[in-house]
Amino acid sequence: MSDQVENLQIENFKAFNSIKIEPKKLNIITGRNNTGKSSIIEAVDLVNNPSNIESFSSHGIRDLINLDAESSEITLNGEKTVKIRPPQSFEEINEAVGRKFVNEYQRINEKFDDDDETEEVSEEDISAIIAQSQDLSEKMTNKATVIEHEEEKNVFFDNVGTNTRRQVIASIIENLHPEQADEALDNIDRLVYPLPWNMGENNILDEYRLGGHHLEQDDTVVQEKIEKFVEEHELIENFSGFRDGEIVLEREDGELDSLPLAYMGDGFRAIIGLVRKIIVSDYNTVLVEEPENHLHPGYVSELVDFIVNQTKNSEIQFFITTHNADFIEEFYEERFKEDEDLQEKFKLFRLQRRGFVESMSYEESRKELEDLKMDLRGNK
């Protein structure tokens, strides 16, 4: 993502009717469950990466539109807008379903083709495929949602079941590759399962626990940065470094031991995973859901130091959701009391029932820390 978010207008998106927030560099979004914390970072992600929409709703993409409205609109910095709406016509759906067929057809062609070069799908084939998709389009009418973004328009579908995909693929094979139909249909599951229709992957960091394979992928510079973080924050005793995807510890006698990362606790793998993700990504905007999960309180403190350091010394803008009072409290510890740079760049959003958003500066949220904690822990 490239744009720093100076303001974000959200209209009829999930629980929000109409809000306009003006974030700073470090934005903590808190509130009880189901108050819309995730919706804010989803909105930021969506306006930058509209195709991520498929990963946002397990119930149905159209559910992202506020119940009282016909469509949703999210606008970033007053200029970049994404609009979510139901399709306006059957043709709009049919064309999109047809495109899905074309994609399947291309994929199947690749499987059938012995050559390395994939054949272009001809216009005739495309027309035939779209014509074939009419039946399915009718079934998909209530599953389609249109996303308009910078003069582009895309139609997305709620999860398409395996049986439907099997039908589509069987139909394509029988009609367009009749000579290979028997063999292909025998192996149809190999065609159905490898590539689901909905492949949306959002940029919200919610699964980043470090694994050995990550370290094996990383170049030396990244690995050195992570090692430096572990050493500076004294996350584990006798740490010597990473090697071949394993963690190396120095014994008292000076000998080195290697341990698979899987042997380390979830907390260690989570904090290092998050730090790594931020280091290796070139995001200017980092969206993180509940980063304190799995972390020991000592690690929470180290994580907050890292986030504060990145806020002050990098181009990264953070949007962090949490309902953990201890994580929030860490930002007001004595070591940040005189940190004007941090305080200037910090903003806390407390989400209330019915889609209300309260905005607080560092100083104001510090004053109300006890109330925030009570809100998160108590029965308000």
Partner 1 sequence: MCLILCEGKYDTLFLQQVIENSSELETDRYTGKEGDKLYQQQDYMESFEYKSEEVLVKGESGKDFQLQIYKNQLLDFDRKYNSHFLLWDLDGAEPENKFEKYETHLQQRFEAHKPVNLEMEIESENELFYSIKLTGQIADYQFETPVIAFKTNLEEEANINHQEHNKEQKTERTKELASNESVLEFFESNLIQEID
Binding residues for partner 1, rule: CB under 8 A, are 17-22, 349, 352-360, 364, 367-368, 370-371, 373-375, 378-380
Nearest alpha carbon to residue 343 among 116, 2, 38, 25: 25
Give the nearer residue to partner 1 in terms of CB position, either 37 or 149.
37
> C-alpha distances in angstroms, 83 versus 91, 108, 145, 156?
19, 33, 10, 13
Query: Residue 43 CB, nearest distance to partner 1 (Å)?
Result: 12
Scanning the structure block, which residue is given the tokens 């070139």? 282
Minimum CB separation from partner 1 for residue 341, in Å? 21
The smaller minimum CB distance to partner 1, of residues 25 and 209, is found at 25
Nearest-approach distance from CB 248 to partner 1, in angstroms: 47
In 120-276, at which residue ranges do the beta strands (DSSP E only) sit?
Answer: 144-149, 152-157, 204-205, 239-243, 246-250, 256-260
Give least dist CB 56 to partner 1, A. 21
| Other residues' Cβ atoms within 10 Å of the Cβ of residue 32 | 16
Fill in the DSSP letter of residue 119.
Answer: P
Q: Please classify residue 359 by burial: count the beta carbons closer than 10 Å to its beta carbon, then call 0-12 exposed, 13-18 middle and 19+ buried.
A: middle
CA distance 332 to 301: 11
Q: Cα torsion for 22, 27, 32, 34, to the nearest 10°?
A: 60
Burial of 154 (0-12, 13-18, 19+ CB in 10 A): middle
The CA distance from 93 to 99, in Å, is 10
Q: Where does residue 230 rank: exposed (0-12), middle (13-18), buried (19+ CB within 10 A)?
A: buried
| 3-state SS assignment for residue 350 | strand
Q: Minimal CA–CA distance to 350: which of 40, 44, 11, 28? A: 28
Give min distance, CB of 127 to partner 1, in A: 49
Angle between helices 297-313 and 266-280 (to 10 degrees): 10
By C-beta, is 195 or 374 nearer to partner 1?
A: 374
Sequence-ordered list of residues with C-beta below 8 angstroms from that of 246, at least 6 positions apart, any chain? 212, 215, 258, 259, 260, 261
Q: What angle do CA 265, 276, 264 make, to 5 degrees?
A: 15
The residue among 8 and 184 lying less far from partner 1, judged by its C-beta, is 8
Q: Angle formed by the axes of helices 123-132 and 90-112, to 10°? A: 120
Question: Which CB, 145 or 321, lies closer to partner 1?
Answer: 321
Q: How far is CA 195 from CA 99, 159, 333, in A?
A: 15, 13, 48
